């Protein structure tokens, strides 16, 4: 096994073989179909509402339903809920979600088919303090953990109940934080402490998860976990999810980027897409993600692929040279596909962020504006928006006497034999089979070349990743725009597919730009929004405020959807700011991990505001909480009026 192996293969699609875990009637792992789950948002003590929502989730296609059990009473109430679901004719396994209350876990483990514990708060009360632990003090903490945890293991063994040890980036214990920090390694160690105790007790009905609201951290943590299990065994099944992904496009894109990057490498046995929407809306997104792999075959990528050239457990962007505004240290560019338009007009540019103000004869430029359009056979004959480049076919470019702001687009052989080339930038189209070491060398010698790469392979992400490996092996620093084409997809499927395909590469540090050709998948505006959403989700280019909002559950203290919408309406223009919107103070502060500001439910009608991890205003009336949040952002110098840059 290579020193950084984390999946069965980087060149063909293959599921990671894991132990099989029995969860009631629906077993998990061991390359069984990838299971879909979601979580109720009702108050667990509201038996009727929880039963009704569970049934809706089951009917929409959930293989498991998770229900929060914050107290022993909630845990006990799982019994009538379960009995009613069985009476309705469904044997769908139920999962109890536990935080902070081992007694509730022990009650639930006697009733439902699986319990989820969070190693960060099963025993430890989080104080957000950095405590220096001696080896002895650390061992004593672990002993306390053992004493509280072993009774739960024994109940699970007795009742045949499975367990998810679900680590969250934002809620690591002070003990783990002090030794490993807020890192993927800390997340893995946190779960492994619990796994070790389970194994010592001869219990292996375990599922593991490593969630974060930051897909980069989440992907690295899962990879590191699998690497560790592949080295030391056994390999337990994985539950995948991005926490607090948010709502709408953002939630779908962020979840698809994080979950999809792992599914592409054959990791993941059950997934939960968490959206700040009705939980039934999560299921179709999860189904679309899983469907991508149902028929994916073991197609090997042709040719010899150089060994893994990156460290998959941390983020480093591939080194590329700067060609105009592409490559080097610059943010990845977005290239919009206008090649199918009959005649491009200046009003078409509105869809990609440039609106022409006829009255004042000037361009207004939004935050998410594409950097280039691919016009193929057209020359733009109007005065284009400032900063917008046009990539057109090399022949048209030459025939039209090299028009301003236009850059020629070649295939490799056309480029190598061309007599006319742009003095600053030439875009060269390539797929993996087109390239070899000698051609890469020739292209690399010309410092004006930018590659626009494509794929027709069924496992396209892996083929494009292999192309990046080839470039790395040849020590080439040619900047690369990653291109993907889609046709005839509905909006959600388009967003899922493009986010997985392009986001996976960006998370590996690959790519200096993205180009999405989407025929009959939605408007140009949607495609542009999706491209910027993918760059934002992978943290490669921040073009808007990021909302880290929890999906809500039985603990939620306010209407999350309405509150998120109200906060979004006032702060959406604060580019780069991260705002956490959390339904409860029990888990919220931990879950929002790296938010700049937090808006957290702390009692009925009460909100507590955070700056980073620190409370700045406690228990404000929810009616005025948004104004307080705005004032807090202003006091910290991070506010700008809409229409002005922060």
Binding to ligand SF4 (CB under 6 A) within 564-603 occurs at 582-584, 586-588, 591
- Under rule CB under 6 A, residue 251 binds ligand SF4: no
Q: Which stretch binds ligand SF4 (CB under 6 A): 146-154, 276-284, 291-299, 552-560?
A: 552-560
The rounded Cα 567 to chain-centroid distance in angstroms is: 22
Closest CB to ligand SF4 among residues 513, 551: 551
**Smallest separation (angstroms) from ligand SF4 to the CB of 269:** 22
Closest CB to ligand SF4 among residues 38, 384: 38
- Under rule CB under 6 A, residue 533 binds ligand SF4: no
**Smallest separation (angstroms) from ligand SF4 to the CB of 612:** 17
**Smallest separation (angstroms) from ligand SF4 to the CB of 583:** 3
- Under rule CB under 6 A, residue 42 binds ligand SF4: no
Structure-token match 């880290």, residue found: 548
The Cα–Cα gap between 171 and 587 comes to: 8
Closest CB to ligand SF4 among residues 28, 584: 584
The Cα-based distances of 74 to 46, 110, 194, 429, 464 in angstroms read 9, 13, 24, 59, 49
The Cα–Cα gap between 530 and 352 comes to: 11
The Cα–Cα gap between 168 and 99 comes to: 11
Handedness of CA 504, 510, 513, 517 (dihedral sign): negative
**Smallest separation (angstroms) from ligand SF4 to the CB of 558:** 9
27: Cβ–Cβ under 8 A, 6 or more apart, which residues?
20, 21
Cα-Cα end-to-end distance for the chain:
48
Closest CB to ligand SF4 among residues 100, 372: 100
When CB distances to ligand SF4 are compared, the closest residue is 583
**Smallest separation (angstroms) from ligand SF4 to the CB of 188:** 22
**Smallest separation (angstroms) from ligand SF4 to the CB of 584:** 3
The Cα–Cα gap between 253 and 250 comes to: 5
The Cα–Cα gap between 598 and 443 comes to: 49
Q: Which stretch binds ligand SF4 (CB under 6 A): 88-96, 411-419, 471-479, 548-556?
A: 548-556
Query: Residue 337 belongs to what H/E stretch?
Result: strand 333-337
Selected binder of ligand SF4 within 375, 378, 556, 622 (CB under 6 A) = 556
**Smallest separation (angstroms) from ligand SF4 to the CB of 586:** 6
- Under rule CB under 6 A, residue 550 binds ligand SF4: yes
Strands 480-487 and 449-453 turn out to be: parallel
Q: What is the Rg, in whole angstroms, of the alpha carbon atoms belonging to the chain?
A: 26
**Smallest separation (angstroms) from ligand SF4 to the CB of 549:** 8
The Cα–Cα gap between 225 and 231 comes to: 10
Selected binder of ligand SF4 within 268, 389, 483, 551 (CB under 6 A) = 551
Contact letters (x/-) for ligand SF4, 325-364, by CB under 6 A?
Answer: ----------------------------------------
**Smallest separation (angstroms) from ligand SF4 to the CB of 560:** 7
The Cα–Cα gap between 641 and 464 comes to: 42
Q: Which two tokens mark 264?
A: 């592409």
Q: Tell me if 481 sits within 8 A of 515, measured CB to CB.
A: yes
Closest CB to ligand SF4 among residues 213, 552: 552
- DSSP E strand stretches across 27-172: 28-29, 35-39, 64-68, 94-98, 114-117, 162-168
Closest CB to ligand SF4 among residues 310, 553: 553
Phi then psi for residue 114, to 5 deg, are -155, 145
Could you give the angle at the alpha carbon of 516 between the alpha carbons of 262 and 290, nearest 5°? 30
**Smallest separation (angstroms) from ligand SF4 to the CB of 467:** 40
Selected binder of ligand SF4 within 35, 555, 568, 578 (CB under 6 A) = 555
- Under rule CB under 6 A, residue 553 binds ligand SF4: yes
Q: Tell me if 37 sits within 8 A of 65, measured CB to CB.
A: yes
Binding to ligand SF4 (CB under 6 A) within 57-76 occurs at none
> Where does this chain bind ligand SF4 (CB under 6 A)?
550-553, 555-556, 582-584, 586-588, 591
């Amino acid at each position: 096994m290579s020193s950084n192996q984390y999946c069965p293969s980087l060149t063909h699609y293959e599921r990671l073989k894991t132990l099989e875990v029995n969860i009631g009637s629906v077993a998990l792992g061991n390359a069984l179909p990838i299971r879909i789950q979601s979580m109720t948002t009702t108050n667990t003590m509201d038996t009727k509402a929880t039963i009704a929502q569970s049934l809706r989730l089951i009917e929409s296609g959930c293989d498991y339903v998770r229900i929060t059990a914050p107290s022993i009473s909630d845990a006990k109430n799982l019994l009538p809920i379960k009995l009613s679901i069985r009476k309705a004719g469904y044997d769908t396994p139920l999962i109890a979600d536990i935080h902070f209350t081992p007694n509730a876990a022990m009650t639930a483990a006697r009733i439902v088919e699986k319990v989820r514990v969070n190693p960060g708060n099963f025993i430890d009360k989080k104080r957000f303090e950095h405590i220096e632990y001696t080896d002895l003090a650390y061992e004593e903490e672990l002993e306390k953990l053992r004493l509280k945890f072993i009774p739960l293991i024994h109940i699970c063994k007795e009742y045949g109940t499975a367990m998810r040890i679900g680590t969250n980036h934002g809620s690591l214990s002070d003990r783990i934080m002090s030794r490993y920090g807020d890192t993927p390694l800390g997340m893995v160690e946190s779960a492994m402490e619990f796994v070790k105790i389970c194994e010592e007790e001869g219990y292996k009905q375990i599922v593991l998860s490593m969630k974060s609201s930051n897909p980069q951290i989440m992907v690295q943590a899962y990879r590191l976990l699998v690497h560790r299990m592949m080295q030391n065994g056994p390999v337990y099944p994985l539950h995948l999810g991005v926490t607090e992904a948010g709502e709408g496009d953002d939630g779908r894109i962020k979840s698809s980027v994080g979950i999809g990057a792992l599914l592409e490498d054959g990791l993941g046995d059950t997934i939960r897409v968490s959206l700040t929407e009705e939980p039934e809306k999560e299921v179709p997104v999860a189904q679309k993600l899983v469907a991508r792999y149902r028929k994916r075959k073991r197609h090997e990528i042709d040719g010899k692929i150089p060994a893994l050239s990156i460290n998959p457990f941390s983020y480093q962007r591939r080194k590329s040279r700067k060609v105009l505004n592409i490559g080097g240290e610059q943010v990845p560019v977005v290239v919009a596909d206008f090649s199918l338009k009959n005649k491009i007009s200046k009003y078409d540019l509105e869809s990609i962020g440039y609106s022409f103000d006829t009255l004042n004869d000037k361009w207004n430029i939004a935050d998410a504006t594409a950097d280039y359009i691919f016009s193929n056979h057209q020359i733009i004959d109007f005065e284009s928006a400032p900063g917008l480049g046009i990539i057109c076919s090399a022949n048209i470019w030459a025939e039209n006497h090299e028009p301003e702001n236009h850059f020629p687009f070649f295939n490799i052989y056309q480029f190598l034999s061309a007599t006319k080339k742009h003095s600053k930038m030439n875009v060269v189209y390539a797929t993996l089979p087109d390239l070899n070491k000698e051609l890469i060398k020739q292209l690399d010698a010309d410092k004006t070349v930018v590659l626009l790469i494509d794929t027709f392979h069924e496992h396209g992400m892996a083929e494009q990743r292999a192309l990046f490996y080839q470039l790395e092996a040849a020590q080439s620093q040619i900047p690369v725009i990653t291109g993907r084409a889609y046709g005839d997809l509905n909006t959600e499927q388009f967003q899922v597919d493009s986010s997985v395909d392009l986001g996976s590469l960006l998370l590996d540090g690959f790519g200096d730009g993205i180009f999405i050709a989407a025929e009959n998948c939605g408007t140009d505006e949607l495609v542009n929004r999706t491209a910027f959403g993918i760059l934002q989700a992978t943290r490669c280019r921040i073009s808007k405020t990021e909302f880290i909002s929890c999906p809500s559950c039985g603990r939620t203290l306010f209407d999350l959807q309405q509150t998120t919408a109200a906060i979004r309406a006032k702060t959406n223009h604060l580019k780069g700011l991260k705002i956490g919107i959390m339904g409860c103070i029990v888990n919220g502060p931990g879950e929002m991990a790296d938010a700049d500001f937090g808006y957290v439910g702390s009692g009925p009608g009460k909100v507590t505001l955070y700056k980073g991890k620190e409370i700045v205003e406690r228990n404000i009336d929810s009616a005025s909480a948004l104004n307080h949040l705005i004032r807090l952002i202003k006091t910290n110098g991070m506010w700008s009026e809409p229409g002005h840059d922060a």
